[in-house]
Amino acid sequence: MSQIQQDPDNTHWPDSNSEVASQDTGRLIYASICSIDGPVLDEMRRIRDHAVHNNDKFGIRVALMHRCGWFVEWIEGPPDGIRDLLARVSLDTRHRSLKVVHESVGKPRLVKPWIGSIAEPNESTGEFARRVMALHERHLKGKGFEPSSVWRSLCSPLPGHVEVAAAREGSYQRVMMMSAARTDAFSLLQWVANREKRPVVHRRFAGAARDALDVESDYLDLPDQALQGRRLIANARKGLAMGMTHAFLPDYAAVVLVMDSDAGRNEGLLERILTACQQVHHQPVIIGLGANGWFSGALRASAEARGHRWIEARTGDDAPDLSTQWWALRQALDGLAGT
């Protein structure tokens, strides 16, 4: 990952009362073939500027992904508002062959008027299209999955066909990693990928205009680890201020704090992680990863006071290398998975 600016400190969402709403809402996801002639990122920024201005006044929240020449859009809000938006976007010449892959009423996940991302493809357009059609057909038969599972099936799929991946959904161990300083979480992820000879998938997320700058997030699948597979997701610290991180935070079994020798940095990042978890009403295990001297009773006390289990993945007395970090972290993750 390139060196990128990190932060800001704040995880609040000024346009959505700073937490996920509890009441049920309409939810719809569709996929369509991109017809844009030119840079997709530039067009998505124009879409963002329009959506941020218009969506919030209708109570609509949208996540838009471009992958493999397709758009995937997840919409939440009042059912009438969703239908009106769908009628408008169906006439948009920037895409075609729109297929609804999910529609339901249930608990919301999206908290911003607009969230956008571009994913680096690790499959062919034909493979992606087959997964779209499989989900579309399930939807028509009334056998669809939860919206977060549908989104992942298209935008960050588990290994295997839709049906195979769906069977592993509930037991796949998802772990978010964030570093207290620099881009250490990304370096560790890349080292593990090289060791395991597995590809890293690169994504870039863009939030509403008031958010931080675009955020990078990489993930690595380790299908032979844990009970049914493991996914490591490296996120930048500033990702805690963006809606997509919060939308999927409830699916993480653990959040790894890749620690630094600076105690203030460790405590500051932990507080931000705990605040984000509190806003989405989720209590993942928090794993501190670092040298013996970097741990303190204050870290454990802060995590446990908010109802989180705190695990220390200690690497010894010296500043750890990547190999030692992975050894310590894998012991902790395997313990969580019961392997």
Q: 58-69, pLDDT tens digit by residue?
A: 889 999 999 999
pLDDT in tens, 241-283: 777 788 888 889 999 999 999 999 999 999 999 998 988 889 9
Whether the pLDDT of residue 158 is over 90: the answer is no
- Strands in 61-67's sheet, in edge-to-edge order, are 95-106, 25-34, 70-77, 61-67, 114-119, 200-206, 215-222, 230-235, 173-179, 254-258, 285-290, 310-314
The region, left, alpha or beta by phi > 0 then psi within -120 to 50, assigned to residue 68 is left
Q: Is residue 15 part of a domain?
A: no
- Average pLDDT in the chain: 86
Domain assignment of residue 274, yes or no: yes
What's the pTM value of the predicted model, to 2 decimals? Answer: 0.85
One-letter amino acid identity for 250? P
Query: Residue 301's domain is classified under what CATH number?
Result: 3.40.50.300
The range of the structural domain enclosing residue 131 comes to 25-169
User: Which of 141, 169, 197 is the last residue before a domain boundary?
Assistant: 169
Residue 8 maps to a domain: no
**Whether residues 137 and 247 fall in one domain:** no
Least confident of 12-16, 33-37, 250-254, 295-299: 12-16
> Same domain, yes or no, for 165 and 282?
no
Residues 323 and 178 in one domain: yes
Question: Per mean pLDDT, which of 16-30, 54-68, 206-220, 275-289 is the most reliable?
Answer: 275-289
The C-alpha atoms of residue 205 and residue 236 are separated, in whole angstroms, by 11
Dump pLDDT digits (tens) for 116-135: 888 777 788 998 999 999 99
- Counting Cα atoms < 13 Å in the Cβ hemisphere of 230 gives 26
Q: What is the mean pLDDT of residues 2-10?
A: 35
More confident residue, 14 or 92: 92
252 with 307, same domain: the answer is: yes
Let me know if residue 155 belongs to a domain. yes
Quick one: 147 and 257 in the same domain?
A: no
The confidence score (pLDDT) of residue 162 equals 62
In percent, how much of the chain has pLDDT > 90? 53
Considering the domain architecture, whether residues 185 and 326 belong to the same structural domain is answered as: yes
pLDDT computed for residue 21 by the predictor: 60
Counting the structural domains of the chain, the total is 2
> Which of 144, 169, 194 corresponds to the end of one domain?
169
Q: 3-class DSSP state for residue 281?
A: coil
- pLDDT in the model for residue 12: 40
- Of the candidates 183, 199, 270, 268, the residue with the CA atom closest to the CA atom of residue 231: 199
Residue 213 has pLDDT above 60, yes or no: no
Confidence category of residue 103, pLDDT binned at 50, 70, 90: very high
Q: How far apart are CA 43 and CA 75, in angstroms?
A: 19
pLDDT band at residue 90 under the 50/70/90 scheme? very high
Please identify, among 169, 186, 211, the residue that sits at the C-terminal boundary of a domain: 169
Assess if residue 12 is contained within a domain: no
pLDDT greater at residue 156 or residue 82: 82
CATH number, domain containing residue 52: 3.30.70.100
Same domain for 206 and 324? yes
Q: Are residues 40 and 182 in the same domain?
A: no
Are 122 and 178 found together in one domain?
Answer: no
